[in-house]
Amino acid sequence: MPHIIIEHSASLQCDLTHLTQSIHQSTIETNLFDEQTIKTRRIAFAECILGSGKLDFVHIQVHLLVGRTQAQKQILSEKLLSTLESLLPESVSLSVHPYDLDPAIYRKN
């Protein structure tokens, strides 16, 4: 754990493999997780309407098992947002949101 889900507009102009690898590496660098448990994936959205005047977007969802402190989640959010800012121009809307998974209903094999 965690599951890192990078959502982005399909029209985003950047090296998407590098973006995915950079986000994965930044998650490792927080030292909040066992490297072997981090799962990172990317989803492109064919359509989006952005009210901010931005041309494209990247939103990162971080699904976590409960137990991380608010401070740890802030460190993670800030690290991932900083990575996005270093890779993408100001014309891209950027956001990061960690979510706690409910252990009563979360299942995996």
Give the pLDDT confidence of 53-106 residue by residue, as tens digits: 899 999 999 999 988 999 999 999 999 999 999 999 999 999 999 999 988 898
Domains identified in the chain and CATH numbers: 2-101 (3.30.429.10)
At 99, give phi and psi (nearest 5°): -125, 135
Q: Which residues pair with 95 in a beta bridge?
A: 59
Give the integer Cα–Cα distance in Å for 20 and 45.
Answer: 16
* Of the candidates 97, 87, 95, the residue with the CA atom closest to the CA atom of residue 18: 87
pLDDT digits (tens, 9 = 90+) for 37-50: 999 999 999 999 99
